[in-house]
Homo-oligomer: A and B are copies of this chain.
Amino acid sequence: MTLLLALAAAQAAPAAPKPLTPSEIVAQSPATAWREIRPEDLMVIDYQGGGRTIIELAPAFAPVHVANIRALAGAGYWNGASIYRVQDNYVTQWGVNEGGPAVPASVVKKPPAEYDRPLRGLTPRPLGYSDAYAPRVGHALGWPVAWNPATGRANLTHCYGMVGVGRDMAPDTGMGGELYAVIGHAPRHLDRNIALVGRLVEGIENMSALPRGTEALGIYKAGTVARMIAAVRLASAMPEAERPRFQAMNTASATFSSYVRARANRKDAFFNIPSGGVDLCNAPVPVRRTPAPSSSR
């Protein structure tokens, strides 16, 4: 009798719902799964000849460097600067040649080595899969992070699109006037050796699709540049109607957990064998243009 009932139930049951893909999870996410990026944390790079790249800054991880960068943008420091280094499978770098514009007085010339920070206050979501570089990895405050419970320290990680501060040899940390973006496989060996200050959230192709520099380290030949920068501004310094608006997924949300699980277990029609795991930099935090009020869920 039990068997028959079970069979009847099985016959009546609808087909198991098709698991959602990562992009379906993002598309169907509730508004509560997102946080608005503050306009003082959005930096807009406009290029000569057109095109734009937008960066989200990470003041919770490198406050002095980020304050420097905001001050430099506010002073128009990079207006007329160039992208002068594009190294394949590594980084695109931009900044100002020697003898560039004056640095605002508020800029800290020798910032502290903000290569990591206290774990305390982050309460990261563990990724749940192993990592070759750090005892623990996961996400905190919308960012990819690594941490070490033994030392109580946490750091941002060099994933695709992350932005850091160029520097000379230690103990120099870089003032913030030269920045780079990761355009290749995550160079995680740079973690804890450089100040990471943000990530590209739009227009990454304006940095990743440039011709590679032909000199050592992908530097452009003297007298040539990859692209000239017209202006770099914080969104907070733009007229309100012109400001770009973005949201990052809340990495403490249930939606983000579903997204990571789906990335680790792809069951789209295309996939035969879900990998059962995902590495930190292959689970990028979703970022989107803020939906218009009428279309927000």
A170 touches B205 (CB 8 A): no
B277 touches A133 (CB 8 A): yes
Interface flag for A224 (CB, 8 Å): no
Also in contact, A270 and B169, with CB within 8 A (given A88-B208, A205-B211): yes
CB distance from A153 to the nearest CB of B (A): 11
B191 touches A275 (CB 8 A): yes
> Which residue of B is nearest A210, CB measured?
B209
Max chain B C-beta neighbours (<10 A), residue from A129, A161, A271: A271
Residues of B within 8 A of A103 (CB): none
B272 touches A88 (CB 8 A): no
A185 touches B188 (CB 8 A): no
Also in contact, A188 and B273, with CB within 8 A (given A88-B205, A208-B88): no
Residues of B within 8 A of A184 (CB): 160, 184-185
Using a Cβ–Cβ cut-off of 8 Å, how many residues does chain A contribute to the interface with B?
50
Interface flag for A278 (CB, 8 Å): yes
> Which residue of B is nearest A87, CB measured?
B205
CB distance from A166 to the nearest CB of B (A): 11
Max chain B C-beta neighbours (<10 A), residue from A127, A131, A185, A266: A185
Interface flag for A159 (CB, 8 Å): yes
Max chain B C-beta neighbours (<10 A), residue from A161, A269, A279: A279
Also in contact, A132 and B277, with CB within 8 A (given A169-B269, A187-B282, A272-B192): yes
B266 touches A189 (CB 8 A): yes
A132 touches B131 (CB 8 A): yes
Give the complex CA separation of A134 and B279 in angstroms. Answer: 11
Interchain CB contact (< 8 A) of A273 among B192, B212, B266: B192
Interface, chain A (partner B; CB < 8 A): 86, 88-89, 113, 115, 127, 129-134, 159-161, 169-170, 184-189, 191-193, 204-205, 208-212, 263-264, 266, 269-282
